[in-house]
Amino acid sequence: ARVGGRDVPLPLGARTLEALYGLNLSAAQVEAYFESRRERGRAIRNSEDAIVARVGRELFETLFAGYTRKQWGLEARELDASVCGRIPVRFDRDERYFTDWFQAMPRDGYAALVERLLGHPRIEVALGTSFEALGNRVRFRYLVYTGPIDAYFEHRFGALPYRSLRFEFETIERERFQPVGVVNFPGDEPYTRVTEFKHLTGQAHAATTIAREYPRSAGEPYYPIPTPANRALYAKYAAKATSETNVAFVGRLAEYRYYNMDQAVASALAAFERIARERVA
């Protein structure tokens, strides 16, 4: 994260305290530091609690309050604890965002991966076609629906809110733009983060391409917005979905769940196993 001109490692850990406060602490000392700052006994009901109860108010204000306000258009206290709770708190000097044993990029990139999936002779792609418009044209025995669940039911209980982003790409005639793949901006900038892709792909080139992310409410739905009211509204649609016996609702939008990419893939594979079992039985 870039805070007041300083580059601060995230998730929170020893290196964060070093960059912010010039503290050089062992893991045990980092744990003791958070212990001394955190609001003990605070019930964890929302995203503000999730951070303040673990590391205290100051780190919450510095790294989470502004970023969350921009990203969601809501205060952290209005969001489920799981939203900010996604970000781990560590005591050691590990600076990685994810600590999975296996981390990889598709050899030829995601575009090639998806192109090859869609190249299957039994897959037909209809672009610029709404699901409703397809209704009369396509016959199916079984449907896997991955769009917004409220749209499937014609918003009959009201619209479920989704958050969107505008990506602004820029190619710069310089080998490197920023020191790491992703820099978060919790401050007053209108964007939340800047990704410089060559850090992720290993690309070697004299120029570099970055994307700035500008959160917005209108536009293509990317994120379900985890609040108690939205969860209650989703529950109505989910109850309705159980009576659609030849339809599976799968993914971030259809399940109204804030999946990470790995979780989204796992959920798709699990859905496939379930459907295959049901169809064979």
Measured from the CB atom, the residue of 64 and 152 that comes closer to ligand UDP is 64
- Residue of 1, 12, 248, 250 interacting with ligand UDP (CB under 6 A): 1
**Residue 59 found at the interface with ligand UDP (CB under 6 A):** no
Find the DSSP H helices in 119-227: 131-134, 149-152, 198-201
Closest approach, Cβ 66 to ligand UDP, in A, equals: 8
* The one-letter amino acid at 5: G
Q: How far apart are CA 90 and CA 16, in angstroms?
A: 10
CB 165 within 8 A of CB 222: yes
- Tokens found for residue 3: 């805070």
**Sign, Cα dihedral of 51, 54, 60, 62:** negative
* Contact pick of 9, 10, 30, 160 for ligand UDP (by CB under 6 A): 10
Q: Which of 68, 195, 208, 227 binds ligand UDP (CB under 6 A)?
A: 68
Q: Does 71 bind ligand UDP (CB under 6 A)?
A: yes
Task: Give the nearest distance from C-beta 244 to ligand UDP in angstroms.
Answer: 29
Q: How far apart are CA 119 and CA 203, in angstroms?
A: 26
Nearer to ligand UDP, 98 or 140 (CB): 98
225 binds ligand UDP (CB under 6 A): no
Place of tokens 């893991």: 27
Specify the pairing of strand 247-249 against strand 143-145: parallel
Binding flag, residue 50, ligand UDP (CB under 6 A)? no
Q: With CB under 6 A, what is the number of residues at the site for ligand UDP?
A: 13
Q: Does the bond joining 11 to the residue before it have cis omega, within 30 degrees of 0?
A: yes
83 contributes a contact to ligand UDP by CB under 6 A: yes
Q: Which of 17, 59, 84, 253 binds ligand UDP (CB under 6 A)?
A: 84
Contact 170, 274 (CB under 8 A): no
Instruction: Pick one of 17, 63, 183, 194: the residue that binds ligand UDP (CB under 6 A).
Output: 63
CB count in 10 Å sphere of residue 251: 20
**Residues lying near ligand UDP in the complex (CB under 6 A):** 1, 10, 63-64, 67-68, 71, 83-84, 86-87, 184, 186
